[in-house]
């Protein structure tokens, strides 16, 4: 068994590569910009890179890049790949996902795999706990964290749990071939996550409430307006409303999902260093 792990510089992929190697499995890390000789080039927007990356591969852990997803699925089938595990998003479950750029990009990748003869499994995490790293600069510099909807709920999941879920479906044939919605164990507001980070880091962290336009202006360099508005709409829809929690992590890994506090302790140095 040889597993191609795309996006190998990402947090989930790094954890997954380590887990697969611990199992003694052959791993082929891949990136659009390889930084070492052990990593192959696989640019998910450039089909020319697909054949060499997929040669001799049994299974694939695939990041959701819709641009050339059809071409990737076709090349995987030609290469004899047996199983593709897609890192999708629970955003595909919203009403009318095609109207949201956030949801549509993942949905198009899922559709490409559904049309392929290769068996596919979609992992659909909600909100990554690691998204809060966007607050790190403010926290380290003692500045307030600017939020448009501090009371908006989400389901922060530890990247290690997503990697373990991927390991489970990659190594157990009985688990593959269907989607899984992955969440953390708690529905938490952004304000509650700030409080947990303050407790873990020992820092006094304050929140500055921003208007939608103020937040968009602050984030314009990082998030295009076409993505910012659907994201703000999603946060607004969950303002004061807990989100649904699933047990998929427990079912796949055999242990409860790690809490946001667990994640905060694992990443405390990112907020204090």
Task: State yes or no: pLDDT of 21 exceeds 90.
Answer: yes
Of 58-72, 92-106, 157-171, 255-269, least confident by mean pLDDT is 92-106
Residue 102 has pLDDT above 90, yes or no: no
Spatial distance between the Cα atoms of 137 and 140, rounded to a whole number of angstroms: 5
Confidence of residue 48 (pLDDT cuts 50, 70, 90): very high
**Residue 118: pLDDT over 90:** yes
The percentage of residues in the chain with a pLDDT greater than 70, rounded to a whole number, is 100
Report the distance separating Cα 198 and Cα 193, nearest Å.
9
172 pLDDT above the threshold of 90: yes
Please report, rounded to a whole number, the percentage of residues in the chain having pLDDT higher than 90.
Answer: 96
Query: Rounded mean pLDDT of 179-185?
Result: 98
Looking at residue 225, its pLDDT comes to 84
pTM for the model? 0.96
d(CA 165, CA 160): 9
Paired residues of 83 in beta bridges: 59, 119
Per-residue pLDDT averaged across 112-125, rounded? 97
Residue 187 backbone zone (phi > 0: left; psi -120 to 50: alpha; other: beta) = beta
């Amino acid at each position: 068994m040889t597993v191609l792990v795309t996006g190998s510089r990402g947090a989930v992929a790094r954890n997954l590569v380590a887990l697969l190697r611990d199992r003694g499995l052959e791993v082929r890390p891949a990136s659009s910009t390889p930084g070492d000789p052990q990593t192959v080039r696989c640019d998910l927007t450039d089909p020319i890179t697909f054949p060499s990356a997929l040669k001799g591969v049994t299974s694939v852990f695939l990041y959701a890049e819709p641009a050339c997803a059809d071409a990737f699925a076709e090349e995987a089938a030609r290469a004899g790949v047996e199983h593709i595990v897609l890192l999708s998003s629970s955003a595909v479950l919203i009403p009318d996902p095609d109207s949201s750029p956030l949801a549509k990009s993942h949905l198009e990748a899922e559709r490409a795999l559904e049309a392929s003869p290769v068996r596919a499994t979609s992992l659909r995490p909600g909100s990554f706990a690691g998204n809060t790293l966007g607050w790190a600069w403010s926290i380290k510099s003692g500045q307030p964290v600017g939020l448009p909807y501090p009371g908006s709920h989400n389901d922060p999941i530890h990247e290690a749990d997503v990697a373990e879920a991927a390991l489970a479906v990659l190594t157990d044939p009985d688990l593959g071939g269907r989607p899984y919605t992955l969440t953390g164990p708690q529905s938490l507001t952004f304000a509650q996550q700030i409080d947990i980070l303050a407790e873990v880091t020992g820092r006094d962290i304050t929140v500055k409430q921003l208007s939608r336009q103020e937040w968009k202006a602050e984030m314009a360099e990082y998030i295009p307006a076409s993505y910012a508005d659907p994201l703000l709409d999603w946060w607004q829809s969950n303002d004061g409303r807990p989100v649904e929690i699933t047990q998929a992590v427990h079912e796949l890994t055999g242990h409860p999902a790690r809490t946001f506090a667990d994640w905060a302790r694992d990443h405390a140095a990112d907020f204090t260093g």
